[in-house]
Amino acid sequence: MADEIILLDFWPSMFGMRVRLALAEKGLKYEYKEEDLRNKSPLLLEMNPVHKKIPVLIHNGKPICESLIIVQYIDEVWHDKSPLLPSDPYQRAQARFWADYVDKKLYELGRKIWSTKGEEQETAKKEFIECLKLLEGELGDKPYFGGEKIGFVDVALVTFSCWFHAYESFGNFSIEAECPKLIAWTKRCMEKESVSSSLEDPHKVHGFVMGMKKKLGIE
């Protein structure tokens, strides 16, 4: 029996993009369902009653929620192709640690960059760059966080890169000037079909954020 895979998602979500990327890496066919977050579908509310959030992966009728949990699930079920996590327990722990670090820091800081002004925004920008520099240090001289191939941390982080243009524009700063190695890594990732087909156009994302700012009454 063929696998039935459905992804409930919202196009600008960097979390949803992680799942798209993992599915693409594994070469999996799936049905993509776009959610209107102001009018959530009965399916989303049924499949993620606890958080009512995207992304949700529905595999043969069974839902999995939380993007990094979904990515690990995909990696474990379709373990024969393009493994995202290493096999060594210590290296797996390091990958999980850094993916968790991305989750703990980047979304909130990024949000503050486009939605606040003055000192709050400056502090967020400074911290954001510090986080990226730390990640740059972790990347070191490797082509990818996963080593020779993209791995779990690459998947966790690269989806934020299509939001960088929006952050830079609304925050009035240059990420490349501060973190050239990291930007080089994002370009390297984008050369892969799985990445370029899973990430959104940064200009579209910029337009989306502009719309959000208008709606929230932020100039």
Partner 1 sequence: MAEEVKLFGTWASPFSRRIEVALKLKGVQFEYIEENLSNKSPALLEYNPVHKKIPVLVHNGKPVAESLVILEYIDETWKHNPILPTDPYEKAIARFWAKYIDDKLWPAATKVLVSKGEEQKGVTEEIQEQLKTLESELKGKKFFGGESLGFVDIAANIIVFLLVAQEALGLMEILTEEQFPVLHEWYQRLVDDAVFKECVPPRERHLGFFKVRFGSSTASK
- The residue among 21 and 64 lying less far from partner 1, judged by its C-beta, is 64
Angstrom distance (rounded) from CA 135 to CA 60: 36
Residues that bind partner 1 (CB under 8 A): 50, 59, 62, 64-66, 69-70, 72-73, 76-77, 89-90, 92-94, 96-97, 100-101, 134
- The residue among 31 and 130 lying less far from partner 1, judged by its C-beta, is 130
CB of 169 to partner 1, least distance (A): 29
Joined tokens for residue 81: 């192709």
CB of 94 to partner 1, least distance (A): 8
Joined tokens for residue 43: 């399916």
- The residue among 21 and 68 lying less far from partner 1, judged by its C-beta, is 68
Long-range contact set of residues 169-176: C-beta below 8 Å, sequence gap at least 24 = 169/206, 170/113, 170/114, 170/209, 170/213, 171/113, 171/114, 171/121, 171/124, 171/125, 173/125, 173/129, 175/129, 175/132
Angstrom distance (rounded) from CA 2 to CA 74: 16
- The residue among 4 and 97 lying less far from partner 1, judged by its C-beta, is 97
